[in-house]
Structure formats: C-alpha cells, structure tokens
Structure 1
C-alpha cells in the first residue's frame, strides 16, 4: 500500500484530510510539524506528502528545502491559505508537485494525489536505476576506468592498447568487465547511462 503523510499544524485540517482519504488505498499518517516528520525517520518512505505552507516551527518551505537536499524526495503537494500564492510559487520552484489554496476542492486533491503516486513510482524506479549505476561505477578498478574513458572517447581496442601500453587481449578483458559491471552491451548504452547520471 502506498504511504501518504499529512503535515499540518491544524488538527481539524489533518483530521478532515484523514477522513477524506479513508476510502482510498493509502496508508495515511499525520504530523503536526516539520520537526515531527523529520524526527519520525526517513521521510522518503512516503510516496506523497501533503504539506501546509505555514507551520508552527519550521515552515513548509524550509521543510521542502530540507527534503530536496536528501537522496530522494517524494512528490509534495503544498496547501496554502489565501494570500500565500507568491510563497506557493516559490515552493513550485523548489520542486513541489503542485499547490492548492484552502479551502480546496476534494476531487482535485484526490486527483493530484493519484498523479503524485504515479509520479513517485516512476521517479523511484529511476532513482534506483541511477543508484545501481553509481554502485557499479564505484566497483570499477582504476584500469577499468581508464579503459572506459577511452572507449567512451571512441577509441578502438588497438588504439587503447597502444595508449595504455597493454595488450589487445587485456583491453578486451577490461572492456568486457566494464560492460558487465555497468550492465550494458554497448558503448552507446554506457554513454547513455552515464549521461543520465550526470543530469540527475
């Protein structure tokens, strides 16, 4: 079951949201402050966060900044009172998925949550894939990294052998190990994975 967190210091709003979501296929947890969410453990375990912009203690914007600095931040829907729209726009620039003004339309919120859940599934899969690429890179030996750089530079095995003063057979072995560790079958695929990692 997908997990959803509600962070709002207004107990009535939290209770209303929990009641609204009771019939939905989500495990819902309420928090009365940014600090309470952070102290609960890894906020990344949630698939979507509904976050009030104005909180006692750290604001919703401060919490969003903190979460965005972490390895993975789930989609965040910001709740704002009338007049907070400029701050909500700032939240969008920080990476919030969307924002709703209070009082909000229940159907629109449910649609946004469903969209965020789908977005989270896709983003988590990509995050996991890139984590595997990072782990694979860290497993390469220094020589394998040298060979990989030359392969990506378009050099042929013979050219790599000449440049590194090693045999063609040794180049072939290192090249095969690089492809195996990185989980690719071609230099083009390898370049694509490293580019995706660079852009992440």
Structure 2
C-alpha cells in the first residue's frame, strides 16, 4: 500500500489530510514537526511527504534541504498559508514535486500526491535495477571485466586480444560470459549496461 507522510503542526489540517488520503486508499502517518518525522525511523520507507513550510523549529524548506543532504529521496509536496514566489522557487529548485498554497482544492492535493508517489516508485525501481546490475557486475572475473570495459570503448575482439595478450577465441569466451552474467541479449544491450555501471578500465 502506498504511504503519505503528513508533517504539519495544524492539528485540524493534518487530521483532515489524513482522512482525505485514507479515503482514496493511501496509508498515512502524521507528524507535528520535522523532528518527529526524523525520529520515526520511517524516512527510508516508500511514499511521499506532504510538508508544511511553516513548522515549529526547523522550517519545511530547511527540512527539505536537510533531507536531500542526508540522502533521503522521498518526494516532497510543500504547502503553506503564507506562500510567496521566492519560497515556491526555492522549494521547487530543491526538488519539490509541487507547492500548494492553503487553502487548496482537495483534488489538487490528490493529484500532487499521485505524481509524487509515481516518482517515488520510478526512482526506487531505477535504484533497484542499478543495485541488481552492480551485484551482477561483482560476479565478473578480472579478465571478464578487462574485456568488458574494452568492449564499451568500441574495441574489436582482435584489438582486445592484442591489448590483453589473449587469443581472439578466449576474448569471445570472456565476452560471452560477461554478457550472460550481466543479462545482455545483444551487443547494444551489453554496451548500455556497461555504460550504466561506469566500470573503470
């Protein structure tokens, strides 16, 4: 189930948002301050953060920047009753999905949350795929890796064989093993995967 984390010191608004999100099937967690959210142990969870700009202690904008610095990638939707253009620009530059001025339409908030959750899902899937590729790359032998990085540089089997003091047949075997381990079906796939991994030559 997708989760929305609500951080707002306005009890009425927080409870109202909680009810709104639950009414469309989202799981929710409520917090009165940025510190409460940070102490929850939920910052790495899948979901999105609906964050008030004006909070006790650390402001929402400062908190958004703190999350980015800490490597917490949960998408953020900012909301405020005192919004102005510089604040919205700062928030959007820092990566906020949306910036909603109170009072906002419920549908606008739901649309923003849907976009934020979709972004979170895409980014998590991208990281999962990258981690999977990294695990696959770790299974390459030293020779397979040496061949692989040279393939990525556009070298032919004959050139790679010369570079490494191997026969062409041996290079083809190493290349075939590397392609299989990395899940590449074609040479184009192979080169795309190698470039995504940033393997060092």
TM-score range, shorter chain: 0.7 to 0.9
Q: Does 1:19 align with 2:19?
A: yes
* TM-score for both structures, normalised by structure 1: 0.87
Runs of 4+ in 1 over 6 A off after TM superposition: none
| Corresponding residue number in structure 2 for 1:8 | 8
Secondary structure (helix, strand or coil) at the match of 1:22 reads helix
Alpha-carbon distance change, 22 to 149 in structure 1, aligned in 2, over 3 angstroms? closer
Residue number in structure 2 paired with 1:184 = 184
What TM-score does the superposition give when structure 2 sets the normalisation length?
0.86
Conservation of the 8 A alpha-carbon contact between 1:79 and 1:99: yes
The structure-2 alpha-carbon separation of the partners of 1:197 and 1:111, relative to structure 1 and needing over 3 Å to count, comes to farther
Which blocks of at least 5 consecutive residues in structure 2 are unaligned?
A: none
Residues 63 and 165 (structure 1), Cα distance of their counterparts in 2 relative to 1, 3 Å cut: same
Quick one: distance in 2 between partners of 1:35 and 1:164?
56
1:121 aligned residue: 121
Change (3 A) 1:195 1:35: farther
Q: Which residue is equivalent to 1:138?
A: 138
Q: Cα–Cα, structure 1 residues 189 and 67, in superposed 2: closer, same or farther, change >3 Å?
A: farther
Q: Deviations over 1:89-118 (max 9, x none)?
A: 111111111110111111111122122223
Q: For each residue in 1:95-143, what CA deviation from the matched residue of structure 2 results, as whole angstroms up to 9, or x when unmatched?
A: 1111101111111111221222233222222221122223333333332
**Number of equivalent positions:** 198
Deviation at 1:176, TM superposition (A): 1.9
Cα distance change on mapping 1:121 and 1:83 into 2, 3 Å: closer
Root mean square deviation of aligned Cα:
2.1
* Deviation for aligned residue 1:69: 4.0
SS in 2 for 1:134: helix
Offset at residue 20 of structure 1 (A): 2.1
Unaligned runs of 5+ in 1: none
Tell me how far apart the structure 1 counterparts of residues 161 and 187 of structure 2 sit (CA, whole Å). Answer: 17
Q: Is the 8 A contact 2:136 2:182 kept in 1?
A: yes
| Cα distance in structure 2, aligned partners of 1:194 and 1:177 | 14
* 1:55 matches 2:55: yes
1-structure distance, mates of 2:176, 2:71: 31
d(CA) in 2 for partners of 1:163, 1:74: 46
Counterpart secondary structure, 1:176: helix
> What residue number does 2:91 align with?
91
Q: Distance in 2 between matches of 1:172 and 1:86?
A: 58
What is the DSSP-based 3-state SS (H/G/I as helix, E as strand, rest coil) of the residue aligned with 1:43?
coil
